[in-house]
Amino acid sequence: MEYLGISHKNGAPYWPQSNGEVESGNETILKIVRIARLEGKDWRKALENFLFQYRVTPHTVTGGSTAELLMGRKLRDKLPRVEFSKDRATEAHWQQLLRERDNRAKLRQKEYADRTRGAKHSNIEEGDNVLLKHTREKKLSPNYEPEPC
């Protein structure tokens, strides 16, 4: 991940909204599998077809499909496309522009999510003592572990 310039960020445990993009993708995959099973089709083949179409569909932020970005060429599919000319000075410059567009889109999404959920900045730092929240076993048991972590 370091070689590719990817920074790994962990989400909050037991809070699927912090990883909404993955949760949304999982929901779509489950929907494809359910439909294939209801229609009596092979769900593996249906999932394979769906993933192929997903991978050749251009992304709104990058302007290219994931297959094109990964392999540097377009894969042939059955959907008609309108071709746009791309002015690419160099491959490195184009990759930098894609990263900038992606970062701007992610920042807009984060600001929207923070604004709608009323998120506030936390002043907790590494080494601070905190109480760990857990699910209650009984109605009268505390919400937090009694000892600070």
Query: Looking at per-residue confidence, does 14 or 43 come out higher?
Result: 43
Q: What is the pLDDT of residue 81?
A: 63
The answer, yes or no, to whether residue 16 has pLDDT greater than 90, is: no
Q: Which pTM was predicted?
A: 0.48
Q: What sign does the CA torsion over 37, 43, 68, 106 have?
A: positive
User: pLDDT tens digits for 28-80?
Assistant: 999 999 999 999 999 999 999 999 888 888 887 777 888 888 888 777 777 66
Q: What is the pLDDT of residue 21?
A: 81
Query: Looking at per-residue confidence, does 86 or 58 come out higher?
Result: 58
Compute the mean pLDDT over every residue in the chain, rounded to the nearest whole number. Answer: 82
Tokens of 80: 């008609």
Residue appearing with tokens 């008609």:
80
Annotate 94-136 with DSSP letters as a single string. Answer: HHHHHHHHHHHHHHHHHHHHHHHHT-------TT---PPB---
What's the mean pLDDT in 10-25?
A: 80
Tokens of 146: 């009694």
User: pLDDT tens digits for 102-114?
Assistant: 899 999 999 999 9
Query: Looking at per-residue confidence, does 141 or 27 come out higher?
Result: 27
The beta strand positions in the chain, using DSSP E, are none
